[in-house]
């Protein structure tokens, strides 16, 4: 990543932290990934050769940019899904020089509409309490050997526990929680 992009991402992250500290309504917070988590997730895209990346939960595009830069390195593409378009999103993507397919939909509905095995890496960073109701689509849409990544599994363990139990009970899944940021849960989906 070049220096101007690094500086832009650092500013975008700092702006998000400042914004969230002043915002009482949780739903209006940007809730960006921590930089270490974003870097790990981007590297995972490259290592896994994830050319078809889906992100559920776009916010202001901080994690979207990290994913899109990594996907671009390997000739891939990112689809990012959110229920609303945040005011600065398109400007942020343009400033970072990335192209992303944005969808304004509820995450579970979008996943349900995808063909089985059509996603290389799925990143869930939306309303955590909804993930269990999306089952089995978060694993069904993954190609054999695809990756499911879920943020905030240590900081908000109670909100994701039902979903993580579903993943743990699926014999196709091999999972680990990485203690980076607020906890990144990674699942390799064999079929």
Tally Cβ neighbours within 10 Å of residue 124: 25
Cβ–Cβ < 8 Å for 80, 102: yes
Q: Where are the domains of the chain?
A: 3-149
Each of the 191 residues of the chain gets a pLDDT tens digit; together they read 788 888 888 887 888 778 767 778 776 676 788 999 999 999 999 999 999 999 999 988 999 999 999 999 999 999 999 998 888 999 999 999 999 999 999 999 999 999 999 999 999 999 999 999 999 999 999 999 999 999 999 999 999 999 999 999 999 999 999 999 999 999 999 87
Instruction: Supply the pLDDT for residue 13.
Output: 84
Domain 3-149 maps to which CATH number in 3.40.640.10, 3.40.50.300, 3.40.50.150, 3.30.70.1150?
3.40.50.150
Instruction: Supply the pLDDT for residue 163.
Output: 97
């Amino acid at each position: 990543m070049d220096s101007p992009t690094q500086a832009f991402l650092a500013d975008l992250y700092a702006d998000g932290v400042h914004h969230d500290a002043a915002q009482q309504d949780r739903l209006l917070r940007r809730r960006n990934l921590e930089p270490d988590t974003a870097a790990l997730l981007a590297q995972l895209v490259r290592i896994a050769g994830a050319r078809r990346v889906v992100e559920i939960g776009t916010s202001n595009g901080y994690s979207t940019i990290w994913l899109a830069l990594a996907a671009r390195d390997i000739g891939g593409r990112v689809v990012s899904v959110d229920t609303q378009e945040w005011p600065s999103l398109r400007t942020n993507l343009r400033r970072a020089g990335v192209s992303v397919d944005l969808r304004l939909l509820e995450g579970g509905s979008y996943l349900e509409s995808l063909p089985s095995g059509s996603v290389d890496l799925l990143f869930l960073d939306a309303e955590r309490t909804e993930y269990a109701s999306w089952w089995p689509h978060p694993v069904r849409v993954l190609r054999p050997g695809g990756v499911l990544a879920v943020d905030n599994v240590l900081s908000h363990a109670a909100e994701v526990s039902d979903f993580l139990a579903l993943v743990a009970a699926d014999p196709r899944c091999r999972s680990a929680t990485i203690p980076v940021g607020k906890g990144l849960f990674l699942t390799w989906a064999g079929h």
